[in-house]
């Protein structure tokens, strides 16, 4: 028996979270017997005809239609949302990013609360190193956040494109900017909890933007005893074991792991099963023979080893302490480069 032409669309509805798999399977016999998928969705899924027409027109949300916005293309997709570049028709044609929550998560009260909380934080927190939020909206059953559109790429994309580490001076300048954004979060009593190259954007002008506050929480908030919050490859030991209270020192550790990856070109601990990576963060010493090579300064080794100390009490205890050390190193390197250029830098 040949497949019904609408079976592909039915599968797309499941894939994009509009229908549960069991619901779709329940509709298949009637569809294959010649039934109309649109009528079946109205009769058995309880959808309105307008909802069916909208999902047809947008290919189940692959090509979203949102009042007041002209969607220009998809920028990326994550575990909970898709991000689209769009033109805001009601704000002088400004280019923005629209972060659209996955349809299945709109029906999950906990996920919805987390998404709304992140959007509100991005709107309330104003700092050059943070992606600026412009509010959260709902159009029909679609929930989306309006965000600053950032031209550029994530540090992870940059590393993949280069296929080699960044120069130490550039990596330190980037990490310094990330630390300044994290210090702003810290001043608001918040911990990011998911610092990693994939959550840091670099613009063509060299500006750094920390993105994705999905795991951000008040400092000291306990995690579940049987779960670790964040991305395994960058988690501080106290986060990796679960049940701990993350504070700024957890973000310091993750930022140190990010600095390691930027300058060495690999993760601090080899990727594999999440449980094994978490075990390495907790139990194994950082092995970094590359840091002892000629291409890296003693300062870089000091920063990474201090930031990634297993014992949180041995790491930087405040962002001010870290920023003071790192600014001194970055400024010193800039002065050395300037002198080495024979004074040519800075001229038009």
The single residue listed with the structure tokens 């395994």 is: 232
The alpha carbon of 248 is separated from its chain's Cα centroid by a whole number of angstroms, namely 18
On whether both 177 and 301 belong to a single domain, the answer is yes
The verdict on residue 292 lying in a domain is yes
DSSP 3-state percent helix, strand, coil across the chain (nearest 5)? 45, 15, 40
Contacts of 250 (CB under 8 A, 6+ apart): 191, 193, 235, 236, 238, 239, 312
Domain for residue 23, yes or no? no
Please give the pLDDT value at position 239: 81
So what's the pLDDT on residue 338? 53
Pair (228, 273) in one structural domain:
yes
Averaged pLDDT of the chain: 87
| Catalytic pick among 6, 102, 194, 251 | 194
Ranges 83-87, 255-259, 307-311: which has the least confidence: 307-311
Region 99-127: mean pLDDT is 94
The more confidently predicted of residues 205 and 282 is 205
Last residue of a domain, one of 104, 120, 148: 148
For residues 130 and 175, state if they share a domain.
no
Which of 256-260, 296-300, 342-346 is modeled with the greatest confidence? 256-260
| 3-state SS class at 130 | strand
Q: Are residues 102 and 199 in the same domain?
A: no
Number of domains in the chain: 2
216 and 319, same domain (yes or no):
yes
Residue 62 lies in a domain: no
Domain-embedded: residue 104: yes
Look at residue 27 and tell me if it is in a domain: no
What are the strands of the beta sheet with 200-202, ordered from one edge?
153-154, 200-202, 208-210
Q: Is residue 38 part of a domain?
A: no
Question: Are residues 187 and 302 located together in one domain of the fold?
Answer: yes
Given 110, 128, 148, which residue is the final one in a domain? 148
Short-list 141, 145, 124, CA closest to 60:
141
**Shared domain check, 311 and 207:** yes
Judgement on whether residues 168 and 279 belong to the same structural domain of the protein: yes
| Average of per-residue pLDDT across 76-92 | 92
- Read off the pLDDT of each residue in 301-330 and give the average, rounded to a whole number: 94
Residues spanned by the domain of 74: 69-148
pLDDT band at residue 148 under the 50/70/90 scheme? very high
Q: Tell me what pLDDT residue 50 has.
A: 95
Whether residues 132 and 169 share a domain: the answer is no
Q: Provide the pLDDT for residue 237.
A: 87
What is the spatial distance between Cα 64 and Cα 84, in angstroms, rounded to a whole number?
9
Q: What is the pLDDT of residues 185-232, one digit of tens each?
A: 999 999 999 999 999 999 999 999 999 898 898 987 765 544 456 788
Classify residue 167: in a domain, yes or no.
Answer: yes
pLDDT at 75 exceeding the cut of 50: yes
Whether 1 is in a domain gets the answer no
Tell me the C-alpha distance between 171 and 12, whole Å: 42
Q: Do 106 and 200 belong to one domain?
A: no
Tell me the pTM: 0.82
Do 132 and 245 lie in one domain? The reply is no
Question: Max CA-CA distance within the chain?
Answer: 81
Q: What mean pLDDT do residues 53-76 have?
A: 95
194 is catalytic: yes
Query: For residue 242, what pLDDT is reported?
Result: 64
Residue 343: band (very low, low, confident or very high) from pLDDT cuts 50, 70, 90:
very low
Helix (H, G, I), strand (E, B) or coil at 73: strand
Greater model confidence, 282 or 206: 206
Nearest alpha carbon to residue 60 among 17, 115, 111 = 17
Is residue 247 within 8 Å of residue 186, measured between CB atoms? no
d(CA 210, CA 182): 8
* Per-residue pLDDT reduced to its tens digit, 41-53: 999 999 999 999 9
pLDDT score of 102 more than 70 = yes
Would you say residue 297 has pLDDT above 50? yes
Q: Which of 123, 148, 173 is the last residue of a domain?
A: 148
282 with 163, same domain: the answer is: yes
CATH code, domain carrying 288: 1.10.510.10
For 166-181, letters b (16+ CB in 10 Å) and e give bebbebbbbbbbbbbb
Check which CATH number belongs to the domain holding 135 and give it: 3.30.200.20
Burial-class residue 339 by CB neighbours within 10 Å (0-12, 13-18, 19+). Answer: exposed
Are 287 and 241 contacting, i.e. CB atoms less than 8 angstroms apart? no
Least confident piece of the model among 6-15, 20-29, 102-111, 237-246: 237-246
Q: Which residue has the higher pLDDT, 241 or 251?
A: 251
């Amino acid at each position: 028996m040949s497949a019904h032409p609408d079976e592909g669309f039915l599968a797309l509805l499941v894939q994009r979270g509009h229908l549960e798999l069991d619901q779709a399977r329940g509709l298949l016999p009637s569809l294959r017997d010649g039934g109309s998928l649109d009528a079946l969705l109205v009769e058995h899924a309880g959808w309105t005809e307008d909802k069916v027409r909208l999902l047809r027109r947008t290919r189940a949300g692959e090509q979203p239609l949102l009042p007041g916005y002209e969607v220009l293309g998809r920028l990326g997709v994550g575990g909970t949302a898709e991000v689209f570049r769009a033109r805001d028709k009601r704000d002088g044609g400004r280019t923005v990013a629209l972060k659209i929550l996955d349809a299945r998560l709109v029906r999950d009260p906990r996920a919805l609360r987390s998404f709304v909380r992140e959007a509100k934080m991005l709107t309330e927190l104003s700092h050059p190193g943070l992606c600026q939020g412009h509010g959260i909206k709902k159009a029909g059953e679609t929930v989306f956040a309006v965000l600053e559109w950032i031209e550029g790429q994530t540090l992870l994309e940059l590393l993949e494109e280069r296929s080699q580490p960044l120069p130490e001076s550039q990596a330190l300048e980037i990490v310094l900017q990330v630390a300044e954004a994290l210090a702003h979060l810290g001043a608001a009593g918040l911990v990011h909890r998911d610092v990693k190259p994939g959550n840091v954007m670099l613009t063509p002008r060299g500006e750094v933007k920390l993105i994705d506050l999905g795991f951000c929480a008040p400092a000291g908030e306990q995690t579940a005893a049987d779960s670790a919050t964040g991305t395994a490859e960058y988690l501080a030991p106290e986060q990796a074991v679960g049940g701990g209270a993350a504070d700024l020192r957890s973000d310091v550790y993750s930022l140190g792991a990010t600095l390691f990856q930027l300058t060495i070109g690999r993760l601090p601990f080899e990727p594999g099963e999440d449980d094994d990576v978490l075990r390495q963060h907790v139990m194994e010493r950082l092995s970094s023979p590359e840091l002892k090579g000629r291409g890296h300064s003693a300062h870089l080794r000091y920063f990474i080893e201090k930031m990634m100390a297993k014992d949180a009490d041995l790491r930087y205890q405040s962002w001010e302490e870290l920023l003071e050390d790192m600014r001194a190193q970055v400024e010193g390197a800039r002065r050395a480069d300037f002198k080495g250029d024979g004074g040519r830098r800075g001229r038009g």
